[in-house]
Amino acid sequence: MVLKAFFPTCCASADSGLLVGRWVPEQSSAVVLAVVHFPFIPIQVKELLAQVHQAGHVGLAVLGTWCHRRQGAEERLGPFLEGLGAIFSHEPWLQLCRERTSGLWSCKATCQQGPARVKDQVMLVFYDQRQVLLSQLHPPAALPDRQAGDAAASAEGLAAVFDTVARSEALFRSDRFDEGPVRLSHWQSEGVEASILAELAKRASGPVCRLLACLLSLISAASACRVFKLRPLSFIWSKLAVCGQLGHRLEQLELVFSTQKAEKPAQLMRKANVLVSVLLDVALGLALLSWLHGKDRIGQLAEALVPVADHVAEALRHLLQWLMGAPAGLKMNRALDQVLGRFFLYHLHLWISYVHLLSPFIEHILWHVGLSACLGLTVALSTLSDIIALLTFHIYCFYVYGARLYCLKICGLSSLWRLFRGKKWNVLRQRVDSCSYDLDQLFIGTLLFTVLLFLLPTTALYYLVFTLLRLLVVAMQGLIHLLVDLVNSLPLYSLGLRLCRPYRLAGTLPSSQPA
């Protein structure tokens, strides 16, 4: 009879101890999960196995002994290890040994009850416990375990091995560096926590996260104060893109430094994606900050900003003069055309004067604004979007003026059109009702309708031109916001796992149970 013993590669260099795992009678297989090191108390080992069985509904037992002869004193452990079979009774009893110098393995299985005999053959199968645990590729519908008294069910192939490792996750929460009564070796303790710095970081992460969570909660409480909800401040907060990005960054930091453990793998994956996104964002922001402060690039930008503003203003002045003439051969209402053109030209003159008034302070403003890149590239891009909005505020005003004037004329024409049809808008009932008008009302309505109708093309042309300019600015800001959203929402950690370690993603997918 061939007995298959699945042994984790991470325990090949572990110290001598007991083999803890699960026996699968249908497959005549023994799945070794961990090695219990000396010294230990047998009752504490049994309590640990009972806790794992209660957490994962998988019956574990001491399958045998493991002897790694790396020191001369361990050569005398043979009789002692063989005597442990009387304390932890299991059929069959495995005895795995690895020689000190030659590296040869010896595997045998004995029966403790009746005359001692050795099994015909033991096949030692090595498996990567880390990949098997994180993949969870073949979980069977029911876990066969006669030792735990569960209902017997058949599991073909390696599905029982995969599911055994997956359900024994509670066994891997403690490692050989924990100050517990039982010291274990498994995939979590494969030289990862051997570094003192990693162990200190592991122990200090809890207090640091709690301290940062308290600070972030104080900042959130301060930002939610009633003072910031007053009309001017709340309006500014809603209009500035950098304020929205700072609020989003605060939510990200609260999620990363939250002391609450993730209940599902998807929540843990989301926290990892947010952490990687924040780190990449800050790294790109620091790179941008170093580029701006190198070779006096901020001064160069400040010197180029005013000429660019003058060039844009000159282009708008030519556009307004073109509209005040005969644009595209269209015949406009000259009086209204001259009034609107002069009004917008005066508004443009005020804007240029305001830019030249601020020109001595632009370099200092850009220097302080560039410091926002320390908080991340997305904060710097949001600040750039707000700067574009401030520099094109005159275009926004042109659009608002044209849109309001066009809207008033359309509303007036629609109201006068209802007057011709003997209708009126009922404000109380929010509907159109019939109404009788006298001759004077119809005469005045006809005059007003005629005037508004002939003035509509001039107003519509100004509204169309300024709407196109506004759409150009909105498109620029939209591209910046698209880049910000891409950095905020791109699952970089998941993409990295998909390229490097795709088996890690399999454990985060919801497992489908057969009907």
Tens digit of each residue's pLDDT, the chain (515 residues):
678 888 888 888 777 888 888 888 877 888 888 888 877 788 888 888 888 888 877 888 888 888 876 545 445 555 666 666 667 777 788 888 887 666 678 787 777 555 545 555 788 888 887 777 666 554 544 444 444 444 334 345 567 777 777 777 777 766 555 556 777 777 666 444 444 455 556 566 667 767 777 776 777 776 666 656 666 666 676 778 888 888 888 888 888 777 777 677 777 788 888 888 889 999 998 998 888 887 778 888 888 888 888 888 888 889 888 888 878 777 788 888 889 889 999 988 888 888 888 888 888 888 888 888 888 899 989 988 988 888 888 889 899 999 999 999 998 888 888 887 777 777 777 787 777 778 888 888 888 888 888 888 889 999 999 999 999 999 999 999 999 999 888 888 888 888 876 766 655 544 444 33
Task: Provide, for the chain, the percentages of residues in helix, strand and coil under a 3-state DSSP scheme, each rounded to the nearest 5.
Answer: 65, 10, 25
Q: Which two tokens stand for residue 220?
A: 């959130």
Query: Does the residue 484 lie in any domain?
Result: yes
Query: Does the residue 515 lie in any domain?
Result: no
Q: What is the 3-state secondary structure (H, E, C) of 479-509?
A: HHHHHHHHHHHCCHHHHHHHHHCCHHHHCCC
Buried b vs exposed e over 260-284: b needs ≥16 C-beta within 10 Å? eeeeebeeebbbbbbbbbbebbbeb
Q: What is the CA radius of gyration of the chain?
A: 38
| Residue 191, Ramachandran bin (φ over 0: left; ψ between -120 and 50: alpha; else beta) | left
Helix (H) or strand (E) holding 231: helix 231-239
Query: Does the residue 214 lie in any domain?
Result: yes
Asked whether residue 31 falls in the same domain as residue 60, the answer is yes
Asked whether residue 426 falls in the same domain as residue 374, the answer is yes
Query: Does the residue 510 lie in any domain?
Result: no
Q: How many structural domains compose the chain?
A: 3
Asked whether residue 93 falls in the same domain as residue 38, the answer is yes
CATH number of residue 125's parent domain:
3.40.140
Tell me if 64 sits within 8 A of 93, measured CB to CB: yes
Q: Which of 234, 257, 291 is the last residue of a domain?
A: 291
Tell me if 59 sits within 8 A of 22, measured CB to CB: yes
Asked whether residue 163 falls in the same domain as residue 251, the answer is no
Query: Does the residue 370 lie in any domain?
Result: yes
Q: What is the 3-state secondary structure (H, E, C) of 255-279?
A: HHCCCCCCCCHHHHHHHHHHHHHHH
Asked whether residue 213 falls in the same domain as residue 327, the answer is no
pLDDT of residue 471: 94
Query: Does the residue 318 lie in any domain?
Result: yes
Asked whether residue 333 falls in the same domain as residue 470, the answer is yes
Asked whether residue 131 falls in the same domain as residue 55, the answer is yes
What's the rounded Cα separation, in Å, for the pair 34 and 31?
10
Asked whether residue 431 falls in the same domain as residue 376, the answer is yes
H helix count then E strand count, the chain: 16, 10
Asked whether residue 197 falls in the same domain as residue 122, the answer is no
What's the rounded Cα separation, in Å, for the pair 385 and 480?
7
Asked whether residue 232 falls in the same domain as residue 166, the answer is no
What's the rounded Cα separation, in Å, for the pair 224 and 92?
66
| Residue of 386, 383, 361 whose CA lies nearest to 288 | 383
Q: Which of 164, 189, 214 is the last residue of a domain?
A: 189
Contact residues for 416 (Cβ-Cβ < 8 A; gap 6+) = 445, 448, 449, 452
Torsion of the alpha carbons at 511, 130, 176 and 213, rounded to the nearest 10: -60
Chain Cα centroid distance, residue 107: 48
Asked whether residue 29 falls in the same domain as residue 164, the answer is yes
Q: Which of 267, 291, 315 is the last residue of a domain?
A: 291
Task: Give the domain range for residue 224.
Answer: 193-291
Query: Does the residue 355 lie in any domain?
Result: yes
Query: Does the residue 489 lie in any domain?
Result: yes
Asked whether residue 302 falls in the same domain as residue 269, the answer is no
